[in-house]
Amino acid sequence: MGIVVQKFGGTSVADSEKIKNVADAVIKEKLNGNKVIVVVSAMGHTTDNLIKLSKEITSTPLDREMDMLLSTGEQVSMSLLAMAINEKGHKAVSLNAMQVGILTEPNHCRARIVDIKQERVKRHLDNGEIVIIAGFQGITTDGEITTLGRGGSDTSAVALAAAFKADRCDIYSDVEGVYTTDPRVVPTAQKLEVISYEEMLELARVGANVLHPRSVETAKLCDVPMGVRSSFKLDDLGTLIIGVDKMELHKPVTGLACDSSQVRIVICDVPDKPGNAGKLFTLLANCGLSVDMIIQSYARSMGNTNDIAFTIDKNDVPKFDKVAPEIKSIMNPSNIHIDEDIAKVSIVGAGMIDRPGIAATMFETLAKLGINIKMISTSEIKISCLVEKCHAKEAVVALCNVFELDGADIADVKGDLPV
């Protein structure tokens, strides 16, 4: 008898009818002969509403009290789900992080899990009970309540699956799986049956909003097979995410993503002195700016200066504006240029590793369409190109066609570029 962890997000438990629906999904897994651990998020907009309340009171809430406040959301949904399962004739018990013993670092609002106690959950599982656990939350060894930050509930589920050596950790939401690219841009995009952690991580980082990279990283680290499934289509197996070593590689490129939420910043003519780049990115990190692509040009023959270009989330531009004067005074660039008219198109595939020419094919495909590539960034299994926003959709469609990521005629393309 194996153990399966099922995680249900906020939209899956948004109201009492949906909670009953989730109860069916849980019972189905139990009747398959598995011991079942369920992880839930807060219902629908609960977390947003609690944040709104706190903002009515203060613009600078203490992190400790935010954790106290937000951790109530999961406790509501988990107890309601336990009631719904019991109502349907199966035994279920809900446990919060303190009752399980999900120990985290003593960092509020962004804690990382350091240990999960096994005793209590095992006792309930051995007793034939379905165990429902609050996602997103933990406790410190001092009994303080912490939350895990963004992607927290998915991470709770994966960490529990690792701790209890579960056969599978299924993440249920309103999407049916991982697609070769965004089905809103390319409606013929195919659902993948299987994808590697590495590919999923690259896809997640480049803007496919199915799973938070943190949960995928944890799954990879602990070798937990993850499923991405729809809570509204229980017979659909969704997409399985496993180690690349366990996969048979079919295509060099398994996925494509487009991200138009970034801006490109170019720091022009930075004097070519050792340590300048380090200074720059330390300044950015200190004000909480996450930088994505980074390109430093070769030193120009005349004048010994570099251009340093990078991308950040467009919501972070105000943060950058604050730190810009300091950058100017320290680095003395000739100009700082902010370019909002960009979209990042990325192809991902573990199969790239052994196949040369993928990057060339990508660049040529774009060149044939007359699309200018503003920046390029690559990893072992990913190639990202920055293009002008107006060309993004065209690029996505052409690349899907070239790399066989869609199943039909590109004439079917509809939908807006996701922003």
Where on the chain is the footprint of a second copy (CB under 8 A)?
16, 19-20, 50, 53-54, 56-58, 60-62, 64-66, 68-69, 71-72, 75-76, 78-80, 82-84, 86-87, 93-94, 96, 98-99, 143-145
To a second copy, the closest distance from the beta carbon of 140 in angstroms equals 11
Any idea what DSSP says for residue 210? T
Burial status of residue 294 (CB atoms within 10 A of its CB: 0-12, 13-18, 19 or more) = middle
Which residue lies nearer to a second copy by CB, 60 or 329? Answer: 60
Which residue lies nearer to a second copy by CB, 94 or 260? Answer: 94
To a second copy, the closest distance from the beta carbon of 53 in angstroms equals 6
Residue 294 phi/psi, 5-degree rounding, is: -130, 130
Which residue lies nearer to a second copy by CB, 97 or 195? Answer: 97
Which residue lies nearer to a second copy by CB, 52 or 355? Answer: 52
To a second copy, the closest distance from the beta carbon of 64 in angstroms equals 7
Rounded Cα–Cα distance for residues 223 and 256 (Å): 24
To a second copy, the closest distance from the beta carbon of 329 in angstroms equals 34
To a second copy, the closest distance from the beta carbon of 243 in angstroms equals 37
Q: Which residues 6+ apart lie within 8 Å of 221 measured at CB? A: none
Rounded Cα–Cα distance for residues 320 and 209 (Å): 25
Helix 16-31 to helix 63-87 angle (10° resolution) is: 70
Closest CA to 108 of 55, 144, 159: 144
Which residue lies nearer to a second copy by CB, 62 or 221? Answer: 62
Q: Are 243 and 196 in contact (CB under 8 A)?
A: yes
Closest CA to 101 of 189, 163, 152: 163
Question: At 345, is the secondary structure helix, strand, or coil?
Answer: strand
Which residue lies nearer to a second copy by CB, 52 or 250? Answer: 52
To a second copy, the closest distance from the beta carbon of 46 in angstroms equals 10
Burial status of residue 235 (CB atoms within 10 A of its CB: 0-12, 13-18, 19 or more) = exposed
First to last CA, the chain: 45
Instruction: State both tokens at 98.
Output: 């303190």
**What strands lie across the sheet with 335-339, from one edge to the other?**
291-296, 305-313, 262-271, 335-339
Which residue lies nearer to a second copy by CB, 146 or 311? Answer: 146
Which residue lies nearer to a second copy by CB, 71 or 260? Answer: 71
Which residue lies nearer to a second copy by CB, 62 or 408? Answer: 62
To a second copy, the closest distance from the beta carbon of 37 in angstroms equals 17
**Cβ neighbour number for residue 70 with a 10 Å cutoff:** 21
Which residue lies nearer to a second copy by CB, 93 or 387? Answer: 93
**CA 256 from chain center: how many Å?**
15
Helix, strand, coil distribution of the chain in percent, nearest 5:
40, 25, 35
To a second copy, the closest distance from the beta carbon of 178 in angstroms equals 32
To a second copy, the closest distance from the beta carbon of 49 in angstroms equals 10
To a second copy, the closest distance from the beta carbon of 59 in angstroms equals 9
